[in-house]
Structure 1
Amino acid sequence: MVVARSGGIARIVLDRPGKANALTAEMLAALRDAVLAAQDRVLVLTGAGTVFSAGADLEAARAGLATSPLWEEVSAAVAGFAGLSIAALNGSCAGGALGMVLACDLRVAVPEARMFYPVMRLGYLPQPSDPGRLRALVGPSRAKLLLMGGAKVGAAEALAMGLLDAVAEDVDAAAAALSADVLAAPDGHGPAIKRMI
Protein backbone atom coordinates (compact mmCIF):
# COMPACT_ATOMS: atom_id res chain seq x y z
CA MET A 1 0.00 0.00 0.00
CA VAL A 2 1.20 3.48 -0.87
CA VAL A 3 -0.01 6.61 0.92
CA ALA A 4 0.69 10.02 -0.59
CA ARG A 5 -0.46 13.38 0.77
CA SER A 6 -0.47 16.54 -1.28
CA GLY A 7 -2.56 19.70 -1.44
CA GLY A 8 -5.23 18.51 0.98
CA ILE A 9 -5.64 15.09 -0.65
CA ALA A 10 -4.66 11.78 0.93
CA ARG A 11 -4.24 9.23 -1.86
CA ILE A 12 -4.11 5.58 -0.81
CA VAL A 13 -3.08 3.08 -3.46
CA LEU A 14 -3.60 -0.67 -3.13
CA ASP A 15 -0.23 -1.77 -4.45
CA ARG A 16 -0.12 -5.48 -5.20
CA PRO A 17 -0.76 -5.45 -8.94
CA GLY A 18 0.84 -8.86 -9.55
CA LYS A 19 -1.95 -10.36 -7.42
CA ALA A 20 -4.77 -8.12 -8.72
CA ASN A 21 -4.45 -6.11 -5.48
CA ALA A 22 -5.93 -9.04 -3.55
CA LEU A 23 -6.01 -8.06 0.11
CA THR A 24 -4.33 -9.77 3.03
CA ALA A 25 -5.06 -9.18 6.72
CA GLU A 26 -1.91 -7.08 6.98
CA MET A 27 -3.00 -4.92 4.05
CA LEU A 28 -6.47 -4.42 5.52
CA ALA A 29 -5.06 -3.41 8.90
CA ALA A 30 -2.63 -0.97 7.25
CA LEU A 31 -5.44 0.46 5.11
CA ARG A 32 -7.69 0.94 8.13
CA ASP A 33 -4.91 2.68 10.04
CA ALA A 34 -4.02 4.93 7.09
CA VAL A 35 -7.64 6.04 6.67
CA LEU A 36 -8.02 6.68 10.40
CA ALA A 37 -4.84 8.76 10.37
CA ALA A 38 -5.90 10.88 7.40
CA GLN A 39 -6.79 14.44 8.39
CA ASP A 40 -6.94 15.75 4.83
CA ARG A 41 -9.92 17.35 3.11
CA VAL A 42 -10.16 14.58 0.50
CA LEU A 43 -9.43 10.86 0.62
CA VAL A 44 -8.91 8.99 -2.66
CA LEU A 45 -8.76 5.19 -2.74
CA THR A 46 -7.36 3.61 -5.89
CA GLY A 47 -5.29 0.65 -7.05
CA ALA A 48 -2.07 -0.01 -8.90
CA GLY A 49 -2.22 -1.71 -12.29
CA THR A 50 -5.44 -2.55 -14.10
CA VAL A 51 -7.56 -3.96 -11.23
CA PHE A 52 -8.79 -2.04 -8.18
CA SER A 53 -8.96 -5.20 -6.08
CA ALA A 54 -9.95 -8.83 -6.50
CA GLY A 55 -11.07 -8.87 -2.86
CA ALA A 56 -9.53 -11.27 -0.38
CA ASP A 57 -6.30 -13.05 -1.18
CA LEU A 58 -7.36 -16.67 -1.82
CA GLU A 59 -4.98 -18.28 0.67
CA ALA A 60 -5.86 -15.71 3.32
CA ALA A 61 -9.57 -16.20 2.60
CA ARG A 62 -9.24 -19.94 3.17
CA ALA A 63 -7.45 -19.18 6.43
CA GLY A 64 -10.37 -17.08 7.70
CA LEU A 65 -9.88 -13.62 6.18
CA ALA A 66 -13.19 -13.83 4.31
CA THR A 67 -15.07 -13.51 7.61
CA SER A 68 -12.60 -11.23 9.39
CA PRO A 69 -13.90 -8.10 11.15
CA LEU A 70 -11.08 -6.20 9.43
CA TRP A 71 -13.28 -5.67 6.35
CA GLU A 72 -15.91 -3.92 8.43
CA GLU A 73 -13.24 -1.92 10.25
CA VAL A 74 -11.88 -0.61 6.94
CA SER A 75 -15.35 0.31 5.69
CA ALA A 76 -16.19 2.01 9.00
CA ALA A 77 -12.97 4.03 8.82
CA VAL A 78 -13.79 5.15 5.27
CA ALA A 79 -17.40 5.98 6.17
CA GLY A 80 -16.19 7.95 9.19
CA PHE A 81 -13.74 10.09 7.23
CA ALA A 82 -14.79 13.69 7.83
CA GLY A 83 -13.93 15.02 4.38
CA LEU A 84 -14.88 13.87 0.89
CA SER A 85 -13.97 10.26 0.14
CA ILE A 86 -13.67 9.09 -3.47
CA ALA A 87 -13.16 5.58 -4.82
CA ALA A 88 -11.18 6.00 -8.05
CA LEU A 89 -11.59 2.55 -9.56
CA ASN A 90 -8.74 1.96 -11.98
CA GLY A 91 -10.29 -1.41 -12.84
CA SER A 92 -12.59 -4.13 -11.55
CA CYS A 93 -13.60 -4.49 -7.92
CA ALA A 94 -14.74 -7.77 -6.39
CA GLY A 95 -15.90 -9.25 -3.13
CA GLY A 96 -15.08 -7.63 0.17
CA ALA A 97 -13.15 -4.84 -1.53
CA LEU A 98 -16.51 -3.52 -2.70
CA GLY A 99 -17.28 -2.68 0.93
CA MET A 100 -14.75 0.13 1.11
CA VAL A 101 -16.01 1.40 -2.25
CA LEU A 102 -19.60 1.45 -0.97
CA ALA A 103 -18.41 3.37 2.10
CA CYS A 104 -16.95 6.19 -0.03
CA ASP A 105 -18.93 9.34 -0.71
CA LEU A 106 -18.33 9.14 -4.47
CA ARG A 107 -17.31 6.40 -6.90
CA VAL A 108 -15.73 6.85 -10.33
CA ALA A 109 -14.46 4.01 -12.54
CA VAL A 110 -12.75 3.37 -15.84
CA PRO A 111 -15.12 2.17 -18.60
CA GLU A 112 -13.78 -1.40 -18.53
CA ALA A 113 -14.32 -1.87 -14.78
CA ARG A 114 -16.63 -4.60 -13.57
CA MET A 115 -18.09 -4.96 -10.09
CA PHE A 116 -19.33 -8.06 -8.34
CA TYR A 117 -19.74 -9.47 -4.84
CA PRO A 118 -19.94 -13.30 -5.03
CA VAL A 119 -20.91 -14.01 -1.43
CA MET A 120 -23.83 -16.25 -2.37
CA ARG A 121 -21.72 -18.54 -4.53
CA LEU A 122 -18.86 -18.65 -2.02
CA GLY A 123 -21.13 -19.27 0.96
CA TYR A 124 -20.20 -16.18 2.99
CA LEU A 125 -22.37 -13.42 4.34
CA PRO A 126 -21.45 -9.91 3.20
CA GLN A 127 -19.92 -7.63 5.80
CA PRO A 128 -22.66 -6.21 8.07
CA SER A 129 -22.79 -2.65 6.68
CA ASP A 130 -22.42 -3.54 2.99
CA PRO A 131 -26.02 -4.57 2.18
CA GLY A 132 -27.45 -1.38 3.70
CA ARG A 133 -25.00 0.85 1.87
CA LEU A 134 -25.61 -1.04 -1.37
CA ARG A 135 -29.38 -0.77 -0.96
CA ALA A 136 -29.10 2.98 -0.31
CA LEU A 137 -27.29 3.39 -3.63
CA VAL A 138 -29.12 1.01 -5.95
CA GLY A 139 -32.37 0.00 -4.22
CA PRO A 140 -33.39 -3.34 -2.74
CA SER A 141 -33.93 -5.30 -5.97
CA ARG A 142 -30.56 -4.41 -7.46
CA ALA A 143 -28.87 -5.04 -4.12
CA LYS A 144 -30.33 -8.54 -4.27
CA LEU A 145 -29.26 -8.84 -7.90
CA LEU A 146 -25.65 -8.23 -6.87
CA LEU A 147 -25.58 -10.08 -3.56
CA MET A 148 -27.95 -12.98 -4.28
CA GLY A 149 -28.09 -13.17 -8.07
CA GLY A 150 -24.32 -13.02 -8.50
CA ALA A 151 -24.55 -10.30 -11.14
CA LYS A 152 -21.34 -8.89 -12.57
CA VAL A 153 -22.04 -5.35 -13.67
CA GLY A 154 -19.95 -3.29 -16.05
CA ALA A 155 -19.23 0.38 -15.51
CA ALA A 156 -22.04 1.65 -17.74
CA GLU A 157 -24.65 -0.51 -15.99
CA ALA A 158 -23.23 0.41 -12.56
CA LEU A 159 -23.53 4.09 -13.48
CA ALA A 160 -27.11 3.65 -14.65
CA MET A 161 -28.14 1.89 -11.43
CA GLY A 162 -26.40 4.41 -9.14
CA LEU A 163 -23.54 2.20 -8.00
CA LEU A 164 -21.11 4.59 -9.71
CA ASP A 165 -21.27 8.37 -9.89
CA ALA A 166 -19.08 8.78 -12.97
CA VAL A 167 -17.19 6.81 -15.60
CA ALA A 168 -13.93 8.25 -16.92
CA GLU A 169 -10.89 7.10 -18.84
CA ASP A 170 -8.68 8.92 -16.33
CA VAL A 171 -10.05 8.30 -12.84
CA ASP A 172 -7.28 10.32 -11.19
CA ALA A 173 -8.24 13.40 -13.20
CA ALA A 174 -11.92 12.76 -12.44
CA ALA A 175 -11.18 12.49 -8.72
CA ALA A 176 -9.21 15.73 -8.87
CA ALA A 177 -12.12 17.50 -10.57
CA LEU A 178 -14.57 16.17 -7.97
CA SER A 179 -12.25 17.41 -5.21
CA ALA A 180 -11.78 20.94 -6.51
CA ASP A 181 -14.67 22.65 -4.72
CA VAL A 182 -13.90 20.95 -1.39
CA LEU A 183 -10.27 21.99 -1.61
CA ALA A 184 -11.21 25.58 -2.45
CA ALA A 185 -13.80 25.93 0.34
CA PRO A 186 -13.13 27.40 3.79
CA ASP A 187 -11.91 25.01 6.49
CA GLY A 188 -14.70 22.82 7.84
CA HIS A 189 -17.18 23.66 5.07
CA GLY A 190 -17.00 20.25 3.36
CA PRO A 191 -17.46 18.25 6.57
CA ALA A 192 -20.36 20.53 7.59
CA ILE A 193 -22.21 19.86 4.32
CA LYS A 194 -21.44 16.15 4.58
CA ARG A 195 -22.99 16.07 8.07
CA MET A 196 -26.10 17.84 6.76
CA ILE A 197 -26.50 15.26 3.99
Structure 2
Amino acid sequence: MIVTEARDGIWRLRIMRPEKANSLTRAMLVALEEGVAAARAAGARVLVLTGTDSVFSAGADLDEARAGLATDPIWERLSAAVAGFPGLTVAALNGSVAGGALGMVLAADLRVAAAESGKIFYPVMKLGFLPQPSDPGRLAALIGPARAKLILMAGARVTMEEALGWGLVDRLVPKAALDAEVEALAADALGAKAEHVAAIKRMI
Protein backbone atom coordinates (compact mmCIF):
# COMPACT_ATOMS: atom_id res chain seq x y z
CA MET A 1 0.00 0.00 0.00
CA ILE A 2 1.20 3.51 -0.86
CA VAL A 3 -0.01 6.40 1.31
CA THR A 4 0.06 9.93 -0.09
CA GLU A 5 0.43 12.83 2.33
CA ALA A 6 0.28 16.35 0.87
CA ARG A 7 0.90 19.37 3.11
CA ASP A 8 2.33 22.85 2.56
CA GLY A 9 3.80 22.09 -0.85
CA ILE A 10 5.48 18.83 0.25
CA TRP A 11 4.12 15.55 -1.10
CA ARG A 12 5.16 12.39 0.73
CA LEU A 13 4.73 8.98 -0.85
CA ARG A 14 4.99 6.43 1.95
CA ILE A 15 5.53 2.72 1.34
CA MET A 16 3.33 1.00 3.90
CA ARG A 17 3.57 -2.78 3.96
CA PRO A 18 5.51 -3.31 7.19
CA GLU A 19 4.42 -6.92 7.63
CA LYS A 20 6.39 -7.72 4.44
CA ALA A 21 9.35 -5.38 5.06
CA ASN A 22 7.72 -2.88 2.67
CA SER A 23 8.44 -5.19 -0.27
CA LEU A 24 6.95 -3.86 -3.48
CA THR A 25 4.27 -5.45 -5.63
CA ARG A 26 3.62 -4.28 -9.16
CA ALA A 27 0.44 -2.55 -8.00
CA MET A 28 2.47 -0.60 -5.42
CA LEU A 29 5.04 0.43 -8.04
CA VAL A 30 2.25 1.66 -10.30
CA ALA A 31 0.77 3.57 -7.35
CA LEU A 32 4.16 5.20 -6.71
CA GLU A 33 4.47 6.17 -10.37
CA GLU A 34 0.97 7.63 -10.31
CA GLY A 35 1.75 9.43 -7.06
CA VAL A 36 4.76 11.14 -8.62
CA ALA A 37 2.62 12.19 -11.58
CA ALA A 38 -0.10 13.52 -9.27
CA ALA A 39 2.42 15.53 -7.25
CA ARG A 40 3.79 17.01 -10.46
CA ALA A 41 0.32 17.87 -11.75
CA ALA A 42 -0.51 19.53 -8.43
CA GLY A 43 2.56 21.74 -8.64
CA ALA A 44 4.27 20.26 -5.58
CA ARG A 45 7.65 21.87 -4.94
CA VAL A 46 9.06 18.96 -2.95
CA LEU A 47 8.51 15.22 -3.31
CA VAL A 48 9.54 12.86 -0.49
CA LEU A 49 9.80 9.09 -0.79
CA THR A 50 9.84 7.18 2.48
CA GLY A 51 8.91 3.91 4.15
CA THR A 52 7.26 2.67 7.32
CA ASP A 53 8.70 1.36 10.59
CA SER A 54 12.30 0.12 10.37
CA VAL A 55 12.63 -0.53 6.62
CA PHE A 56 12.41 1.75 3.60
CA SER A 57 11.84 -1.23 1.30
CA ALA A 58 13.20 -4.76 0.89
CA GLY A 59 12.76 -4.49 -2.89
CA ALA A 60 10.47 -6.63 -4.99
CA ASP A 61 7.90 -8.91 -3.42
CA LEU A 62 9.56 -12.32 -3.84
CA ASP A 63 6.52 -14.12 -5.23
CA GLU A 64 5.93 -11.43 -7.83
CA ALA A 65 9.65 -11.20 -8.59
CA ARG A 66 9.71 -14.89 -9.49
CA ALA A 67 6.61 -14.36 -11.63
CA GLY A 68 8.27 -11.63 -13.72
CA LEU A 69 8.27 -8.45 -11.64
CA ALA A 70 12.08 -8.47 -11.37
CA THR A 71 12.36 -7.61 -15.07
CA ASP A 72 9.23 -5.49 -15.43
CA PRO A 73 9.78 -2.04 -17.01
CA ILE A 74 7.70 -0.44 -14.25
CA TRP A 75 10.88 -0.09 -12.14
CA GLU A 76 12.57 1.99 -14.80
CA ARG A 77 9.44 4.04 -15.42
CA LEU A 78 9.22 4.89 -11.71
CA SER A 79 12.88 5.92 -11.54
CA ALA A 80 12.44 8.08 -14.65
CA ALA A 81 9.38 9.75 -13.12
CA VAL A 82 11.32 10.56 -9.94
CA ALA A 83 14.35 11.83 -11.89
CA GLY A 84 12.13 13.95 -14.14
CA PHE A 85 10.18 15.60 -11.32
CA PRO A 86 10.84 19.36 -11.70
CA GLY A 87 10.99 20.12 -7.98
CA LEU A 88 13.26 18.86 -5.23
CA THR A 89 13.06 15.10 -4.59
CA VAL A 90 14.22 13.58 -1.31
CA ALA A 91 14.51 9.91 -0.37
CA ALA A 92 13.99 9.77 3.40
CA LEU A 93 15.50 6.44 4.37
CA ASN A 94 13.88 5.37 7.62
CA GLY A 95 15.74 2.05 7.41
CA SER A 96 17.27 -0.46 5.02
CA VAL A 97 16.78 -0.28 1.27
CA ALA A 98 17.43 -3.27 -0.94
CA GLY A 99 17.26 -4.45 -4.51
CA GLY A 100 15.12 -2.68 -7.06
CA ALA A 101 13.82 -0.23 -4.44
CA LEU A 102 17.24 1.40 -4.61
CA GLY A 103 16.39 2.66 -8.11
CA MET A 104 13.95 5.35 -6.96
CA VAL A 105 16.39 6.30 -4.18
CA LEU A 106 19.22 6.79 -6.68
CA ALA A 107 16.92 8.84 -8.90
CA ALA A 108 16.12 11.30 -6.10
CA ASP A 109 18.01 14.58 -5.75
CA LEU A 110 18.91 13.99 -2.08
CA ARG A 111 19.10 11.02 0.26
CA VAL A 112 18.66 11.50 4.01
CA ALA A 113 18.94 8.47 6.28
CA ALA A 114 18.15 7.51 9.85
CA ALA A 115 21.40 6.84 11.68
CA GLU A 116 20.29 4.12 14.09
CA SER A 117 20.10 1.16 11.77
CA GLY A 118 19.75 -0.04 8.24
CA LYS A 119 21.87 -1.05 5.27
CA ILE A 120 21.86 -0.52 1.54
CA PHE A 121 22.34 -3.52 -0.73
CA TYR A 122 21.39 -4.70 -4.22
CA PRO A 123 21.92 -8.49 -4.53
CA VAL A 124 20.86 -8.57 -8.15
CA MET A 125 23.75 -10.64 -9.55
CA LYS A 126 23.33 -13.35 -6.92
CA LEU A 127 19.67 -13.65 -7.88
CA GLY A 128 20.46 -14.01 -11.57
CA PHE A 129 19.01 -10.71 -12.79
CA LEU A 130 20.46 -7.54 -14.27
CA PRO A 131 19.89 -4.26 -12.42
CA GLN A 132 17.45 -1.82 -13.93
CA PRO A 133 19.15 -0.02 -16.86
CA SER A 134 19.63 3.40 -15.24
CA ASP A 135 20.67 2.16 -11.79
CA PRO A 136 24.37 1.30 -12.41
CA GLY A 137 25.05 4.67 -14.05
CA ARG A 138 23.36 6.63 -11.29
CA LEU A 139 25.11 4.56 -8.63
CA ALA A 140 28.54 5.01 -10.23
CA ALA A 141 27.94 8.76 -10.63
CA LEU A 142 27.40 9.04 -6.87
CA ILE A 143 30.08 6.70 -5.50
CA GLY A 144 32.40 5.80 -8.37
CA PRO A 145 32.66 2.62 -10.45
CA ALA A 146 34.63 0.52 -7.96
CA ARG A 147 32.17 1.05 -5.12
CA ALA A 148 29.27 0.52 -7.51
CA LYS A 149 30.83 -2.86 -8.33
CA LEU A 150 31.19 -3.60 -4.63
CA ILE A 151 27.42 -3.27 -4.30
CA LEU A 152 26.28 -4.78 -7.62
CA MET A 153 28.93 -7.45 -8.13
CA ALA A 154 30.44 -8.23 -4.73
CA GLY A 155 27.17 -8.11 -2.80
CA ALA A 156 28.35 -5.49 -0.31
CA ARG A 157 25.86 -4.54 2.38
CA VAL A 158 26.69 -0.91 3.08
CA THR A 159 25.91 0.61 6.47
CA MET A 160 24.39 4.07 6.54
CA GLU A 161 27.63 5.44 8.03
CA GLU A 162 29.61 3.95 5.14
CA ALA A 163 27.01 5.27 2.71
CA LEU A 164 27.48 8.78 4.11
CA GLY A 165 31.24 8.54 3.67
CA TRP A 166 30.84 7.27 0.12
CA GLY A 167 28.38 9.99 -0.90
CA LEU A 168 25.54 7.52 -1.38
CA VAL A 169 23.69 9.24 1.48
CA ASP A 170 23.84 13.04 1.89
CA ARG A 171 22.76 13.45 5.52
CA LEU A 172 22.60 11.08 8.48
CA VAL A 173 20.33 12.08 11.36
CA PRO A 174 18.61 10.43 14.34
CA LYS A 175 15.46 8.68 13.19
CA ALA A 176 13.32 10.97 15.35
CA ALA A 177 14.73 13.94 13.44
CA LEU A 178 14.27 12.53 9.93
CA ASP A 179 11.10 14.45 9.08
CA ALA A 180 12.48 17.68 10.54
CA GLU A 181 15.65 17.34 8.48
CA VAL A 182 13.65 16.78 5.30
CA GLU A 183 11.57 19.88 6.02
CA ALA A 184 14.70 21.95 6.67
CA LEU A 185 16.20 20.82 3.35
CA ALA A 186 12.92 21.59 1.61
CA ALA A 187 12.58 25.13 2.95
CA ASP A 188 14.40 26.97 0.15
CA ALA A 189 12.60 25.07 -2.60
CA LEU A 190 9.27 25.80 -0.92
CA GLY A 191 10.11 29.50 -0.71
CA ALA A 192 11.22 29.86 -4.33
CA LYS A 193 9.24 30.07 -7.54
CA ALA A 194 8.61 26.67 -9.08
CA GLU A 195 10.22 27.68 -12.37
CA HIS A 196 13.34 28.87 -10.50
CA VAL A 197 13.68 25.54 -8.73
CA ALA A 198 13.23 23.65 -12.00
CA ALA A 199 15.76 25.86 -13.80
CA ILE A 200 18.48 25.27 -11.21
CA LYS A 201 17.79 21.54 -11.28
CA ARG A 202 18.18 21.53 -15.08
CA MET A 203 21.47 23.43 -14.81
CA ILE A 204 22.89 20.88 -12.39
TM-score normalised by L of structure 1: 0.98
Deviation at 1:113, TM superposition (A): 2.0
Q: Which residue of 1 aligns with 2:20?
A: 19
Q: Which residue of 1 aligns with 2:198?
A: 191
Amino acid at match of 1:34: G
Q: Which residue of 2 aligns with 1:117?
A: 122
CA contact (8 A) 2:87 2:194 kept: no
Cα deviations by residue, 1:118-176 (Å, 9 ceiling, x for unpaired) = 01111110000000000100001001111001000000100100100011112211111
Matched, 1:181 2:177: no
Matched, 1:141 2:142: no
Distance 1:172 1:61 in 2: 31
Deviation at 1:72, TM superposition (A): 0.5
Distance 1:67 1:52 in 2: 21
Q: Secondary structure of 1:126's match?
A: coil
Deviation at 1:117, TM superposition (A): 0.2
Deviation at 1:107, TM superposition (A): 0.1
**What pairs with 1:21-60 in structure 2 (closer than 5 Å)?**
21-39=22-40, 40-60=44-64
Matched, 1:65 2:69: yes
Q: Secondary structure of 1:164's match?
A: coil
Pairwise CA RMSD of aligned residues? 0.8
Distance 1:154 1:26 in 2: 29
Distance 2:149 2:143 in 1: 10
Moved more, 32-41 or 132-141: 32-41
Distance 2:118 2:198 in 1: 29
Q: Which runs of 5 or more structure 2 residues have no equivalent in the other structure?
A: none
Amino acid at match of 2:161: A
Deviation at 1:70, TM superposition (A): 0.7
Q: Which residue of 2 aligns with 1:167?
A: 172
Deviation at 1:116, TM superposition (A): 0.2
Q: Secondary structure of 1:175's match?
A: helix
TM-score normalised by L of structure 2: 0.95
Q: 1:88 aligns with which of 86, 92, 100?
A: 92
Percentage identity across aligned positions?
63
